[in-house]
């Protein structure tokens, strides 16, 4: 039921308005009040419904907001797309969902229009609750913990099961606190589903932690040494960060697959994630093909913003990789320092034992003790170096790859649109020829084809504009998160360094009188 309306020409100038509106409380005070909810939190980015309403109205932000324009709004609404209406059509299959699903934002914004809405009321109800919740400010009231890694099974078929605990007050979940057991491939399966659904329309889907055949094999084989415990801990922490990032994303949080992952006690086994499976190989081939394609797409970038961002992320990627490598070296050397300090401590203790002057002997033993404690300190610091600093950098290197991926999808989208235009042109030329040749039966077919391709061109344009808009929003959100993340981590890391130094002061202050006591 698409109302054919020509969108008014939309210039760059519109965009700021769009953003303003997102930030503005106005939008929601008007609507929310009609929904009889309480005062709302001005956190625009956190409202998924807002995404839907604004996104789907592409080039006409102004009209959306005002109460008076509800009529228009509604009419307009039938125009376009947003993929992020998963609650409307739960998509559980791994196949790419159709790029465009008609969404009527008005159902969220203007309840009185409900009767005219083209979507199911049920979904609306839920979204309404969500608006209320979000309005109440518990948008990100969801806390995820990954804990208790447990080895299940034996030999090469063994795997680690992790406990995923969710604490939340969001009503989209059945309970406030619940936990399930998941294995690594389940996480990969979740990511795969989310990526398939959201990446190609411009959402930055947080990447899952990497596979490690070597690491896992050691664990399977049952090596109970420190390196496999370390590996499991590293993985557990990475899985936790992965889930935390994913639920922070307002759109992904709404996804039923995510919900199922967090809630269901039984999850269908994600077999396509096996490294050497058929699907795995197919994925590798596709990735390679993508890389080739990317090189051959030369896009006329009319939007300087995208060009700038492309460059910015390219630079950031390079810099982060450098920094990451250096921090990894730091971790390595600190561990070495720790080991050497421990060896020295033992040696000093032995020296103390063989020293025949009592006071000196005691002082040397004390020195040995101090050094042992310092070894412990070094170990803890190395731990912080790694888990706080190094892993964050690693995460962001992978996240930026996802951003670049999304930018690539936009290019592909553009290409598709261009291709459609070319085909349309060809069809038109073919029709013109047929006109001259006077073949009425083929002419009709040609006219039909032209109609078909005209639609495709329009669709292509809309898709392109949609993905561009989504990406802008996503990048904005991503950068905000990134700034916050980095600032938090830097402070946390520095605090760990301060802690180490404070301890060192304590230990040496305790030792000094012992040294002075040597007579």
Applying the rule CB under 8 A, the residues between 448 and 507 that interact with other proteins are 479, 482-483, 486-487, 490-491, 494-495, 497-498, 501-502, 504-505
**DSSP category for residue 81:** B
Among 75, 161, 323, 450, binds other proteins (CB under 8 A): 323
Among 174, 354, 436, 440, binds other proteins (CB under 8 A): 354
516: contact with other proteins by CB under 8 A: yes
CB 473 within 8 A of CB 51: yes
Q: What share of the chain is helix, strand, coil (3-state, %, to 5)?
A: 70, 5, 25
- Helices assigned H by DSSP within 208-303: 213-221, 226-248, 250-253, 256-263, 278-296
Applying the rule CB under 8 A, the residues between 363 and 402 that interact with other proteins are 363-364, 367
Of 384, 389, 382, 369, the residue nearest 339 (C-alpha): 382
Of 467, 493, 466, the residue nearest 381 (C-alpha): 493
Dist. CA 519–CA 511, nearest whole Å: 15
67: contact with other proteins by CB under 8 A: no
Nearer to other proteins, 464 or 493 (CB): 493
Burial of residue 95 (number of CB atoms within 10 Å: 0-12, 13-18, 19+)? exposed
356: contact with other proteins by CB under 8 A: yes
Q: Backbone phi, then psi, for 4, in 5-degree steps?
A: -85, 110
Dist. CA 519–CA 509, nearest whole Å: 19
175: contact with other proteins by CB under 8 A: no
512: contact with other proteins by CB under 8 A: yes
CB atoms within 10 A of CB 397: 17
Among 5, 112, 223, 333, binds other proteins (CB under 8 A): 333
- Minimum Å gap between C-beta 514 and other proteins is 8
Among 91, 146, 258, 348, binds other proteins (CB under 8 A): 348
Nearer to other proteins, 2 or 519 (CB): 519
Nearer to other proteins, 67 or 336 (CB): 336
- Minimum Å gap between C-beta 498 and other proteins is 5
Task: Show the CA angle centred on residue 491, arms to residues 487 and 493, nearest 5°.
Answer: 115
Radius of gyration of the chain measured on its C-alpha atoms: 29
**DSSP category for residue 89:** S
- Minimum Å gap between C-beta 495 and other proteins is 7
Applying the rule CB under 8 A, the residues between 292 and 321 that interact with other proteins are 315-316, 319-320
Q: Backbone phi, then psi, for 403, in 5-degree steps?
A: -60, -45
- Minimum Å gap between C-beta 290 and other proteins is 28
Select the span of 71-79, 169-177, 355-363, 416-424 touching other proteins (CB under 8 A): 355-363
**Residue ranges in contact with other proteins by CB under 8 A:** 315-316, 319-320, 322-323, 325-327, 329-330, 333-334, 336-337, 340-341, 343-344, 346-348, 350-351, 353-357, 359-360, 363-364, 367, 479, 482-483, 486-487, 490-491, 494-495, 497-498, 501-502, 504-505, 508-509, 511-512, 515-516, 518
């Amino acid at each position: 039921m698409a109302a054919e309306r020509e969108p008014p020409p939309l210039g760059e100038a519109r965009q700021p308005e769009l953003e303003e509106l997102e930030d503005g409380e106005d939008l929601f005070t008007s609507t929310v009040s009609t929904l009889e909810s309480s005062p709302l939190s001005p956190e625009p980015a956190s409202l998924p419904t807002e995404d839907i309403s604004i996104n789907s109205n592409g080039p006409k932000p102004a009209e959306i907001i005002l109460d008076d324009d509800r009529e228009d709004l509604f009419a307009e609404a039938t125009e376009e797309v947003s993929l992020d209406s998963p609650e409307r059509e739960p998509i559980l299959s791994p196949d790419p969902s159709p790029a465009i699903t008609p969404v009527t934002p008005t159902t969220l914004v203007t309840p009185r229009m409900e009767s005219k809405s083209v979507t199911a009321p049920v979904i609306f109800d839920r979204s309404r609750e969500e608006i209320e919740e979000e309005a109440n400010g518990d948008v990100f009231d969801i806390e995820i913990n990954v804990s208790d890694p447990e080895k299940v099974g034996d030999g090469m078929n063994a795997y680690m099961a992790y406990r995923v605990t969710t604490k939340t007050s969001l009503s989209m979940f059945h309970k406030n606190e619940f936990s399930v057991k998941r294995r690594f491939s389940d996480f990969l399966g979740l990511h795969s589903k989310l990526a398939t659904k959201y990446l190609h329309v411009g959402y930055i889907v947080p990447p899952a932690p990497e596979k490690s055949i070597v690491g896992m094999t050691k664990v399977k084989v049952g090596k109970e040494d420190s390196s496999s415990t370390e590996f499991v801990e590293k993985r557990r922490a990475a899985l936790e960060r992965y889930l935390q990032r994913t639920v922070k994303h307002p759109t992904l949080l709404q996804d039923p697959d995510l919900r199922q992952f967090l809630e269901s006690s039984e999850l269908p086994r994600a077999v396509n994630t096996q490294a050497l499976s058929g699907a795995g190989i197919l994925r590798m081939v596709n990735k390679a093909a993508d890389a080739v394609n990317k090189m051959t797409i030369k896009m006329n970038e009319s939007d300087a913003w995208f060009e700038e961002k492309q460059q910015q992320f390219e630079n950031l990627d390079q810099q982060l990789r450098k920094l990451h490598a250096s921090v990894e070296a730091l971790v390595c050397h600190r561990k070495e320092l720790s080991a050497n300090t421990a060896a020295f401590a033992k040696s000093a203790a032995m020296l103390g034992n063989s020293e025949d002057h009592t006071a000196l002997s005691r002082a040397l033993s004390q020195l040995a003790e101090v050094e042992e404690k310092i070894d412990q300190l070094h170990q803890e610091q190395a731990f912080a170096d790694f888990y706080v600093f190094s892993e964050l950098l690693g995460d962001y290197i992978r996240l930026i790859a996802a951003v670049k991926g999304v930018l690539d999808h936009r290019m592909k989208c553009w290409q598709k649109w261009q291709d459609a235009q070319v085909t349309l042109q060809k069809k038109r030329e073919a029709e013109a020829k047929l006109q001259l040749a006077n073949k009425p039966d083929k002419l009709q077919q040609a006219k039909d084809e032209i109609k078909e391709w005209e639609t495709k061109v329009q669709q292509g344009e809309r898709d392109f504009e949609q993905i561009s808009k989504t990406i802008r929003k996503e990048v904005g959100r991503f950068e905000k998160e990134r700034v916050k993340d980095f600032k938090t981590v830097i402070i946390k890391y520095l605090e760990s360094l301060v802690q180490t130094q404070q301890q060192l002061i304590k230990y040496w202050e305790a030792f000094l009188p012992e040294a002075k006591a040597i007579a």
